[in-house]
Amino acid sequence: MLAAVVSLPEPFDTPFMQRALLETLLLAMLGGVLGSWIVLRRLAFFTHGTGTAAFPGLVVAGPWGVPAQAAALGTGLLYAGSVERLGRRAGADAATGLLLVAALAVGVVLASDVYESGAGVDRLLFGSALAISDRDLWLTAGTVAAVLGLDAALRRAWLAGGFDPVAARSLGVPTAAADRLLLAAVAVAVVVALDAVGSLLVTAVLVIPAATVRLVADDLRTLRLGAVGLGAAEAVIGLWLADTLNVGPGPALAVLASAVFAVVALATAVRR
């Protein structure tokens, strides 16, 4: 897709940096559109948990010869289903946290003692935006298109269901089906974000930009457009920082996004 290098200023003048840029910009769109719903519907912890749950899947994908995304989606959906089941008895927060730790621990044991993944573990946990393949890009682009379609169809159900779940059904809105599709969309978005930012940092692209804009946005339109814009800006600056300071792109993005959130949170707290 990007065989020929497009003429861009440094450091975006190499094919691998351009792929990284394209991938993170696509993820910024996901983070803006889906991230707004994640934040409004209080699914941030669930998103982080699904990312972490993908880790053992990623560890076994290589040795088992399965595509990484398929394995990650498998464990991610298993996780989501388990949270749903266990949540009814233990409470959703407790179930999310408990299963998150279990998944991380299983992944570590598999990585260090069973498959001896060694240095590869870093890449699985924190991503490697500089090693994005064409297939990764296509998967992410396809997910962006699917999420935009879902959002167009279900936006009203997600809004009404989140605002007032009891009355939403009496409004004739199919909240149960819409909510399940939202969780599935989050799981798929997490999976396509793994290559760039890894299991532990998916919230840096899927949650933090929207959470930051949420501090200042009063309506849904501003929130969504603002989150896409902020995510895109953070993608460009994060990659530039990673190249300049010679650190991993995933961590660079996560630190940048958190710092911006902290500054905005502080500024809005002072203003009030």
Give contact residues for other proteins (rule: CB under 8 A): 40, 152-154, 156-157, 159-160, 162-164, 166-173, 214, 217-220, 222-223
Nearest approach, Cβ of residue 259 and other proteins (Å): 24
Nearer to other proteins, 25 or 44 (CB): 44
Nearer to other proteins, 114 or 171 (CB): 171
Phi-psi group of 7: left, alpha or beta (phi > 0 → left; psi -120 to 50 → alpha; rest → beta): beta
CA distance 105 to 237: 33
Nearer to other proteins, 154 or 194 (CB): 154
Nearer to other proteins, 113 or 218 (CB): 218
Nearer to other proteins, 123 or 169 (CB): 169
Q: With b meaning 16 or more CB within 10 Å and e meaning fewer, what string describes 91-128?
A: eeeebbbbbbeebbebbbebbeeebebeeebebbbbbb
Nearest approach, Cβ of residue 185 and other proteins (Å): 15
For helices 44-64 and 92-109, give the axis angle rounded to 10 degrees: 20
CA distance 71 to 75: 6
> Which DSSP symbol is given to 6?
P
Do 72 and 61 meet the contact criterion of CB atoms below 8 Å apart? yes
Nearest approach, Cβ of residue 248 and other proteins (Å): 34
- Both tokens of residue 58? 């990623």
Nearest approach, Cβ of residue 128 and other proteins (Å): 35
Nearest approach, Cβ of residue 160 and other proteins (Å): 5
